[in-house]
Amino acid sequence: MARVAIVTGGTRGIGEAISLALKEHGVTVAANYAGNEEKANAFTERTGIASYKWDVGDFDACAAGVAQVEAELGPVDIVVNNAGITRDGTILKMSRDMWEDVIRVNLGGCFNMAHATFPGMRSRKWGRIVNIGSINGQAGQYGQVNYAAAKSGIHGFTKALSQEGARAGVTVNAIAPGYIDTDMVAAVPPEVLEKIVAKIPVGRLGQASEIARGVVFLCSEEGGFVTGSTLSINGGQHMY
């Protein structure tokens, strides 16, 4: 019987690439999304991957969403916490809401999804949780104290939770992407993007598929001896 995975933020960008890669490796995937229903429906039509709408920053919504997925697809073996938002600004211009929104979704979403799925994984003696961090959680970034704090928190969360699952066959790891060629990065002004790429030793942006391949390995049987780790996929931009 195929493993069942939930990929949060799984219908666009890096999340879409992860959903597709897991499906190609025989996993039954549920792609979570929060906002654009039209794009999510188009994703499902194009890929055959079921999409489910809920806000990962909402504790009760995560519990209900996981219950629905399990009722329709089976017990959840794999969770990829990819959903994230930005509310950028220097601290002088950052409101409390901008801070709390990013922490609630980016870091709180990891807790909410793990809380809803971890007990089942432990009881079945097999599970994989992969949390998508960021190079900016490792190195920091001007104008992103909220985002950097949330992503840095993900790395600590990963190390702590991995210790709770290790003897029960549940691994917990993180991936810290660098600058990836997604719609979000494409929206950066060309002159700014040129400066970003100039700082990447391999001389290019990453591809979403390169992040997805890392996720597939960490979620596989072969990845079972890797836990509590952060895999940096950033073209050598930050070595941590």
d(CA 194, CA 137): 22
The arithmetic mean of pLDDT across residues 20-39, rounded, is 96
SS3 6: strand
DSSP 180-213: B-SHHHHTS-HHHHHHHHHTSTTSS-B-HHHHHH
Q: What is the mean pLDDT of the chain?
A: 93
d(CA 75, CA 69): 8
179 is catalytic: no
Flag the least confident range among 56-60, 140-144, 236-240.
Answer: 236-240
Query: What was the pLDDT predicted at 202?
Result: 92
Active-site residue, from 142, 147, 179, 240: 147
pLDDT digits (tens, 9 = 90+) for 136-167: 657 567 778 999 999 999 999 999 999 999 99
The arithmetic mean of pLDDT across residues 61-72, rounded, is 98
The arithmetic mean of pLDDT across residues 38-64, rounded, is 97
